[in-house]
Amino acid sequence: MAREKLISAKTKNRPRLMLLGARGQLGSDCREVFSSEYEVCGFTSADLNLLHPEKIGQAVLHCRPQLIINAAAHTRVDACEHEPESARLINVEAPACLALAAKELGALLVQISTDYVFAGDRPLPLGYREDDPVGPVSVYGRSKLAGEKAVAGAGCDFLVVRTAWLYGRYGHNFLKTILRLVLSEPRRERQVVADQFGCLTWSWRLAQQLLSLVRAGKRGLYHAVAEGSASWYEVACTFLDMMEVEHRIVPCLSAQYPTPARRPENSLLLNHRLEHDGLLLMLPWRRDLKLFVARNRERLLAEASSF
Note down pLDDT in tens along the chain; length 307 residues.
444 444 443 556 899 999 999 999 999 999 999 999 999 999 999 999 999 998 999 999 999 999 999 999 999 999 999 999 999 999 999 999 999 999 999 999 999 999 999 999 999 999 999 999 999 999 999 999 999 999 999 999 999 999 999 999 999 999 999 999 999 999 999 999 999 999 999 999 999 999 999 999 999 999 999 999 999 999 999 999 999 999 999 999 999 989 999 999 999 999 999 999 999 999 999 999 999 999 999 999 999 998 7
H-state helical runs in the chain: 25-34, 56-63, 77-82, 84-88, 94-105, 139-152, 174-184, 203-215, 232-242, 272-276, 285-305
Q: What does the pLDDT read at residue 8?
A: 40
Q: What pLDDT, on the 0 to 100 scale, is given for residue 11?
A: 52
Residue 297 CA, distance from chain mean position: 22
Phi and psi based region of residue 70 (left: phi greater than 0; alpha: psi -120 to 50; beta: remaining): beta
Look at residue 230 in the predicted model and tell me its pLDDT.
98
Q: Which residues are catalytic?
A: 140
Question: What phi, psi does 260 have (nearest 5°)?
Answer: -60, -40
Q: What is the pLDDT of residue 89?
A: 98
The pLDDT value given to residue 7: 43
198: which DSSP letter? E
- Quick check: 233 and 200 in contact, CB under 8 A? no
pLDDT at site 306 = 87
Omega before 125 within 30 of 0, i.e. cis? yes
